[in-house]
Homo-oligomer: A and B are copies of this chain.
Amino acid sequence: MKLYGYWRSGTSYRVRLALALKGQEIETVPVNLATGEHREEDFVKLNPQGLVPALDIGDGRLLTQSPAIIEYLDEALEGPKLFPPDPWQRAKARQYAALIGCDVHPLQNLRVLKRLQDPLGHSKEEAFSWAAYWITIGLQALEETLEQDDQPGPFLLGDTPSAAECYLLPQLYAGRRFGAELGGLTRLLEVEAAMNALPAVAAAHPSRQPDATE
């Protein structure tokens, strides 16, 4: 298997975190989103969407979309289960993941912030402010939902990290970049700290990837 990704792509970071939690390593192939490598013919031939991450499962078959990749890796690889065995907690892991994956991340994606600037005519600062808004209200709702669901720590669903943490860390990372208000997210920041105390998780951080430029 090999994973096409980009160091700062939040969805690539998600998949790296899933592999870290599974205790697995696979070959990674950098696709430079900053220089537009994902829109070049070779890559679009591979993935018509022209997006990362994309997982080549080894026989030329390609799987895209991080939610599908994470479910597939959890089913296919050895290691701790990222989707809890209890049906209700499994549903909750998927709910927290989708809250970020559907209601927050897509609105602050690179291509969306670019389109706000051209052709919509907004400044980079206005685009960042748009991103910060959706991250702030989305993560605040997740913080409140965890309390309402009475989920014990130190992780989102108790004493074991799940797939949902793979969505949370990249979103907090992007939140800082775009100036979202994260100060009130006591519970979520505790989960982030508990995650980053795991060496494999810390090594999945964007800044520690071979293609990182900052």
Question: Which residues of A pack against B, CB within 8 Å?
Answer: 47-51, 57, 61, 63-69, 71-72, 75-76, 87-88, 90-92, 94-95, 97-99, 101-103, 105-107, 112, 115, 120, 122, 126, 130, 133, 138, 141, 144-145, 148
Contact = CB atoms under 8 A, between A and B. Distances in A.
Contacts of A63: 91-92, 95
B102 A144 contact: no
Contacts of A122: 120
A90 to B, nearest CB: 8
Contacts of A97: 68
Contacts of A76: 87
Contact of A144 (B48, B92, B99): B48
Q: Determine chain A's interface SS by DSSP, over half rule.
A: helix
B99 A49 contact: yes
A141 B88 CA distance: 34
Contacts of A148: 48
A77 to B, nearest CB: 12
Contact of A91 (B47, B71, B138, B145): B71
